Amino acid sequence: MSIKITPVANSRISAVNFDNLDFGRTFSDHMFEMIWQNGAWQKPKILPYGPVSFTPALQSLHYGQSVFEGMKAYYVDENTINLFRPEDHHRRLNLSSKRLCVPETDYDTFISGLEELLKIDSKWVPKKHGQALYVRPLVFASEEFIAAKAADKYHFYIITSPVAAYYKEGFSPVSLTTAEGFVRAVKGGTGEAKTAGNYAASFMPAQLAAKKGFTQVLWLDAIENRYVEEVGTMNIFFKINGKLITPELSGSVLNGITRRSVIEIAKNNGIPIEEKRITIDEVFEAGEKGILEEVFGSGTAAVISPVKLIHHQGKQVEIGDGRIGETARKMFDTITGIQYGKIRDTYGWTHPVKIQ
Ligand SMILES: Cc1ncc(COP(=O)(O)O)c(C=O)c1O
């Protein structure tokens, strides 16, 4: 794979305070770019990160053909950066692309482009435990044509951003509320895809939830409004009477990579786990009976996020003593241990990139 690399004349890294990183606001020196036109992906490039110019007729701005991924790269030692499950992230990017009529990309181009990007920007991978380099692949329709049909031209970027440790002073358990009068996704829609519009549509209910003091929305199914699906940017797990339960992939839930990791760790450690439909009433009943032992979210950003409270139609259930439970802790320690190369990766999840 030949990638044309244009390095920056002057790195911006000396202006970055790695002890005070604001999520998603600092970008590394370079970006990967590949353009789809005339029915094929053109030669990939790595070039200085910076503005790209388009006119307001850019098709994705009007019709939302835009898909992305969110993954992380972790500093292991001065020679090695670990990517976590890049093949799974790439597969999901292609699933999202397929649903949105965006052209798919091949894994070889993706991974070799990403490896080159990490090598040239290796100094941007923060070194402290808990910090990481957030990797954002993004494909969008870039034809200048305002007709409601799939575009003929696309831009594919990979940009990277150093991010702080999610938990700086211990875990901060979150509170969730269901969103009356709103739905996130329905089977057959775009809920399984990581596409821009899903997030845009969730901002209003998320703002209403925040106004009432809740951290995020707990989404229920769109048809019966009873079955728990997922949280704003996380999948969800309940530990009820010793068993972990997570909503099955219904066609409207995002197939989280962290979710899959939690399931595999549970299976490997003899922790009972079931993927099944679970209603919000069952969750509240378990709370009333005192058998709702733990609730936690799973996602790339926080890895594991303990939930302290769930609100639904004027009622609330509090979980445990508001601190992280033992299963959530085990999942967090195992996954982060593997990501930072502190625990041997018997699952084959890490993709080490040698930077020298
Ligand atoms: C809607 C939604 N659900 C779940 C997740 C968790 O997925 P992952 O574990 O792959 O980060 C995310 C984050 O990407 C998300 O945006």
| Residue 326 is assigned to a structural domain of this protein | yes
pLDDT of residue 1 exceeding 90: no
Which residues have CB under 8 Å from 170's CB, separation 6+? none
pLDDT of residue 322 exceeding 80: no
- Same domain? For 149 and 40 the reply is yes
Residue with tokens 């920056």: 8
- Same domain? For 157 and 246 the reply is no
Q: For residues 236 and 295, is the Cβ–Cβ distance under 8 A?
A: yes
pLDDT of residue 244 exceeding 90: yes
- Same domain? For 150 and 178 the reply is no
pLDDT of residue 169 exceeding 80: no
User: Residues with Cβ within 6 A of ligand 1?
Assistant: 70, 230, 233-235, 254, 256-259, 298-300
The dihedrals phi and psi of 190, each to the nearest 5 degrees, come to -115, 15
- Same domain? For 232 and 278 the reply is yes
d(CA 355, CA 351): 12
pLDDT band at 142 (very low <50, low <70, confident <90, very high): very high
Among 165, 197, 217, the domain-final residue is 165
Give the CATH number, domain containing residue 335: 3.20.10.10
218, 250, 280 from 185: Cα distances, Å: 12, 10, 17
What's the total number of domains in the chain?
2
- Same domain? For 13 and 102 the reply is yes
Mean pLDDT of 111-125: 98
- Same domain? For 219 and 282 the reply is yes
Which runs of E-coded beta strand occur in the chain?
4-5, 30-37, 40-41, 45-48, 66-68, 71-77, 80-84, 132-141, 154-163, 174-177, 216-220, 228-231, 235-240, 243-246, 273-275, 292-299, 303-312, 315-318, 350-354
Going from the Cα of 38 to the center of ligand 1, the distance in angstroms, rounded, reads 33
| Residue 348 is assigned to a structural domain of this protein | no
What pLDDT sits at residue 321?
A: 79
- Same domain? For 99 and 195 the reply is no
Going from the Cα of 12 to the center of ligand 1, the distance in angstroms, rounded, reads 30
What pLDDT sits at residue 263?
A: 98
d(CA 168, CA 199): 26
pLDDT band at 214 (very low <50, low <70, confident <90, very high): very high
Q: Which residue range is the domain that position 161 belongs to?
A: 4-165
Give the CATH number, domain containing residue 103: 3.30.470.10
| Residue 352 is assigned to a structural domain of this protein | no
pTM: 0.97
Mean pLDDT value across the chain: 96
What pLDDT sits at residue 168?
A: 81
Q: In degrees, to the nearest 5, what angle opens at C-alpha 170 toward C-alphas 166 and 171?
A: 65
* pLDDT tens per residue across span 309-318: 999 999 999 9
What pLDDT sits at residue 287?
A: 97
Going from the Cα of 134 to the center of ligand 1, the distance in angstroms, rounded, reads 14
Mean pLDDT of 117-134: 97
Instruction: Give 45's strand partners.
Output: 4, 33
- Same domain? For 153 and 233 the reply is no
Radius of gyration of the chain (CA): 21
- Same domain? For 286 and 326 the reply is yes
